[in-house]
Amino acid sequence: MSETPISTDRRAFLKAGSLVAAPLAMAAPAAALAADDGSRAKLARLEDERAIEALQRKFVRHLNGAGDCSEFIAPSGSVELGEGLRAIAEDLRHEPSFALSEDGLTATARCACRVEREIAWTGDTTIERMARFEGLGRHRHQERAVLAMDFVKAREGWQIAHVRLVSGAAAT
Amino acid sequence: MALEAYPSVPLFRYPYTQLTEAQIQAKLAPAAEAGPTSRSPLERDLAGTTLRIVTDGAGTLTWQFGEGNRVTFDGATGGYGALTLDHVTLITHVVPSSTRAWAIAWDRHNNLATVFELWWGGGPAPHTREINRAVWHGYVQGGDGDPPAERHAPTVRMEGRAYAWTEDTGLRTIEYYCSYTYTHWVELDRLKDNRGYSAPADYIQLTEDLYLFARVEAEFSGLLHMYLVDSNRLQSAGVRLGFNGADELEYYMFRGTAEWLGQNARFEKLGDFSAEPIPIENAKKGERRIYRPVATMDKMTPEEVNAVVAENTHVFDRPSPMAGNGTPPSGALATRSFAVEYDGGPRMEYRFVSADQLQWRKDGRGDWRQAKYNAWEVMPGAFIFGHLLQGEPNHDCHIVVADLDAGLATNFHGFLNTPYFANEAGAETLFGKIVGQGIPDPGNRRHQRTRDLLGRAFTWEYAPGLNSMHLYSTPNTTSWIIPNAETGHFGTEWSGTGDFVKIRDQLYFARWCEEACNGTLGTLLLNMRTMHDAGIGYHCGKNGLSLSAVGAPARHAGKFDVDRFFGPDAWRTRP
């Protein structure tokens, strides 16, 4: 695991340039889809779901490796992962949920996870000063959270429109 | 200021003399020759004994005891004192022509020993008058058997206890052992202000029921107060060594008896009895973490305060680490209007124009002024809110608990420009009634000071990794103790002026002033039914003036029965 906190500010994710990493289910002409018995549409949705799952996993994998995740984020996307994030691990006791919109152009995913953060107490409150004095100026802790992601299907493929970690009671 | 052995001002305000090593050696010389005094008979049965103590870290130390109270150590002969508690003997002497002394706890049953090496000057204490100590564990050498593998050791077993001691001197002290590295004590006789103070301490377990305890009154007189504790018989035998506020040497041994005041919860993980302090890298001999807050706090002039307030004032405009687990502010006061009439204080008129903006006017004079506020409804109908009084010369704040169902309000009025450091917050407590539409008139009733919190301790979990415990040790003292978030060991402790007001049953308004310690006024409204609080911190330093949120879930660590030690006016304080 990296010893430096993962950069979670939006700028770090939004480096200009590359975008899509997920396999793209090529948008088929609507007329063609309508002409068959529906199996092509089902196949397309299945491929979309798999692409989104893969994108989510890749995003988490890059995040944990302190990799550049900007390639997964839509140009207008936003990232809210909170302070001092060090690692995210999917909580396998919970089934992740995916929802693909009717038109197949947006999707959402929620995934229970365990988050590790490290906070540095750098302020001038007495309690922070005393914590530093005790040699306890940094604190690493785990918390449960839900990784909530919104996806959008662009011409280049699926991208993350919005990702945030929902902590505490709001996560349940 | 005339020297006072036991100052009439708070110890953190007293200008202790910076004694030199030469002065200290001169003052020690008679005591080195004569040994300590004692009201209880000192023991003489060591005559003819040679005590060779093999220590882990300080080599083998040899004391030869002669007739009377003569002891020879390292070629120098002087006077010693000894008292035995059950089967452990405490021996002490000052080395002649030096600024060094020793204290030895010798278990005569198993020959284990703990030696306190004591000295003035040369550090690590930054003040020469403050006694240094290094603690060496070992055993008394003798016979042909194998040396024992066991040792006395630091312990957490005393953490959470409190005793009321009465020495054979007649002096009474409440001692709260709320930490494994600090202590908090209240002198009931020599000091007159009913205040508690905090100091670094050693806790050594000797047997299942015998302990060796030592506090160094660092940052104050620098005196050592050490005693053996028999926790079953509630007895002590100890020594006091150092220089009081009049720079007089105190060197006496004593016996004491205790009342058991209670036992608070400890928060180490179950099964964790470890008690080694967090190590200091490249520590000097005797070095430990001694909190010296006056050295590190910002100390500003009135002009500097005015400048920083003008440039850098923050009112509930940034996240507060002390409210990471706080509840969100309430907007329920928005659109309400009322006035608070304080007894002997101002009449404050309020228009709450939104969830975080209010208008105030003082004593009906001048224009209405706009101020940012935050409010929390901690129990239905009972709010805490706070705002700055921009334009007041002392940059005042009002932190108010308003019980709209009862028509009662209490204000912890904070202000700067106190006499010691201009950025240090002072506070007064104002009681009043609320006048407004639909708010009942309480007549002459007011919120009252309370002792419901006296002797209680609560933990506060402000944010992950940022926790503390409050101990309300006297009617005018709040003490706070900082734990290791990983292990639950409570360590560094400090304290300041407190005040405590009952709002409703199980709802209390409390404050603490961090005098000569960062200068913050901290307030909280504690709901013991939900075990959560909401509060406001008021702080000025080089980074600016701020009002910020305080909020945390609480755990009740326990309550000590100490009410009977304090008179009805014990809440009164001198600055």
What whole-number distance in Å separates Cα of residue B10 and Cα of residue B8? 7
Identity of the residue in B464, B518, B537 whose CB atom sits nearest the CB atom of A139: B464
Tokens of B303: 């002009």
* A57, amino acid identity: R
Contact B482 A131 (CB under 8 A): yes
Query: Residue B256's closest CA among B40, B43, B42?
Result: B40
What whole-number distance in Å separates Cα of residue B112 and Cα of residue B210? 13
What whole-number distance in Å separates Cα of residue B511 and Cα of residue B84? 43
Identity of the residue in A126, A129, A136 whose CB atom sits nearest the CB atom of B484: A136
Among all residues of chain B, which has the CA nearest to that of A131?
B482
Q: How confident is the model at residue A96 (pLDDT cuts 50, 70, 90)?
A: confident
Query: What are the strands, taking DSSP E only, across B337-446?
Result: 337-342, 347-352, 357-362, 365-372, 374-379, 382-388, 397-403, 408-415, 426-435
- CA B267 from centroid of its chain's CA atoms: 19
Dump pLDDT digits (tens) for B416-425: 999 999 999 9
User: 3-state DSSP call for residue B290?
Assistant: coil
CA quadruple B561, B565, B569, B574: dihedral positive or negative? negative
B322 contacts on A by Cβ (under 8 Å): 125, 127
pLDDT at B143: 73
- Of the CA atoms within 13 Å of residue B166, those in its CB half-sphere come to 5
B465 contacts on A by Cβ (under 8 Å): 119, 121, 131, 136, 139-141
Could you tell me what percent of chain B has a pLDDT over 90?
Answer: 96
Dump pLDDT digits (tens) for A18-43: 233 333 344 444 555 555 677 888 88
* pLDDT at residue B257 is higher than 50: yes
Residues 6 or more apart whose CB falls under 8 angstroms from that of B102 comprise B61, B63, B73, B91, B92, B93, B95, B115, B116, B117, B118
Q: Which ipTM did the prediction report?
A: 0.87
Contact B465 A141 (CB under 8 A): yes
* pLDDT at residue B97 is higher than 60: yes
* pLDDT at residue B164 is higher than 90: yes
Could you tell me what percent of chain A has a pLDDT over 90?
Answer: 32
Least confident of A31-40, A118-127, B34-43, B539-548: A31-40
Among all residues of chain A, which has the CA nearest to that of B546?
A125
Among all residues of chain A, which has the CA nearest to that of B281?
A135
Q: How confident is the model at residue A10 (pLDDT cuts 50, 70, 90)?
A: very low
Identity of the residue in B278, B462, B541 whose CB atom sits nearest the CB atom of A134: B278
CA quadruple B469, B525, B415, B7: dihedral positive or negative? negative
Identity of the residue in A117, A127, A143 whose CB atom sits nearest the CB atom of B482: A127
Pairing of strands B408-415, B426-435: antiparallel
